[in-house]
Copies of this chain bind each other. A is one copy, B any other.
Amino acid sequence: MHLGMIGLGKMGANMRQRLINAGLQVTGYDRNPEVSDVPSLQELVSALPSPRIVWVMVPAGAPTDSVIGELKSLLSAGDLVIDGGNTRFSDDERHAADLAENGIRFVDCGVSGGVWGLKNGYGLMAGGESSDIEELMPIFDALRPEGERARSFVHVGDVGAGHYAKMVHNGIEYGIMQAYAEGYELLSAKSSIKDVPGTFTAWQEGTVIRSWLLDLVVAALEKDPELKDIAGYVDDSGEGRWTVEEAIANAVPMPVITAALFQRFASRQDDSPTNKMIAALRQHFGGHAVKRPTE
């Protein structure tokens, strides 16, 4: 099998490597010529056998929109595009319809595993036509961990369902990380706890809360036991926001995942207007002192 991989960043380059390790043939394209196998999308397309299979692994939003727009004109009827990025599920239907105008097929695939996927394999959640998914199984089987397929791959539903499942996966991830982090903060605040890193380490086997993320907590604390070199500033790349938007759209109460999302928003504020207003109110009704911004 020979496929194209567009986007050779942290994720795409590793996935290309894992596919090659499994015996597949991959031609990669990246805007950065230093890492690209071919000089242009046009040449990527020319290099592939027909029907062509192209895996898109570029940032969600405008970059993915742009690549899919180009592929619409470069590919031919019967070719197949997989979007493996973190695209909002609601964009998938639009992309699929757009490509379908030229007879090009579309599958979305949520990919989890981060920088560890090259070694461990990736968890995969796919959306699209069953026949398309079936055709792509050699690729999925190469990307996912060895062992029982059902434990690392799922055909979730029609186009968009794969990214939907990945979005929820990331929402859950927000909640789990926040749970460990709150526990870390409380243990760190308590002077009677003499060995915070050791406590997390001891949770890795036998306990109810053992997990891969816990292993990463331990790795982080091994490297920097008090996290002195890391500021409490947390970005978000959209999936958490979309998860809560979907909670709202479906009237699903989602207090934990939402709290984890808001924690990130707050982490990026120099000063909180909400807190300033509360401080101002306390001053006005109770004569409580306020701090000035420079204090």
Contact = CB atoms under 8 A, between A and B. Distances in A.
Contact of A164 (B114, B192, B247): B192
A114 to B, nearest CB: 4
A150 B186 contact: no
Interface in A249-289: 250-269, 271-288
Given A187-B165, A205-B144, A248-B244, A199 B156 contact: yes
Given A179-B257, A184-B273, A285 B171 contact: no
A252 B185 contact: yes
Contact of A172 (B121, B122, B183, B188): B183
Which one of A155, A206, A264, A266 has the greatest number of beta carbons of chain B within 10 Å? A206
Interface residues on A, range: 35 or more
A33 interface: no
B235 A282 contact: yes
Contacts of A125: 199, 202
Interface in A121-138: 121-125
A271 B209 contact: no
B112 A194 contact: no
A101 interface: no
A175 B173 contact: no
Given A112-B206, A205-B121, A274-B178, A230 B280 contact: yes
A62 interface: no
Contact of A154 (B178, B195, B253): B195
A148 to B, nearest CB: 8
Contacts of A253: 182, 262-263, 265-266, 269, 272, 274
Contacts of A184: 273-274, 277
Contact of A168 (B187, B216, B286): B187
Contact of A202 (B123, B174, B267): B123
Contacts of A150: 198, 201-202
A156 B113 contact: no
B276 A230 contact: yes
Given A157-B192, A172-B182, A178-B255, 16 more contacts: A120-B206, A123-B206, A124-B206, A144-B205, A150-B202, A153-B202, A165-B187, A184-B277, A186-B246, A186-B247, A227-B277, A229-B293, A232-B275, A233-B290, A251-B268, A252-B265
22 contacts: A144-B205, A144-B206, A145-B206, A154-B195, A161-B194, A168-B199, A169-B203, A177-B277, A178-B255, A182-B257, A185-B274, A188-B273, A210-B211, A210-B212, A211-B213, A224-B280, A227-B276, A232-B275, A232-B279, A251-B265, A253-B272, A267-B272
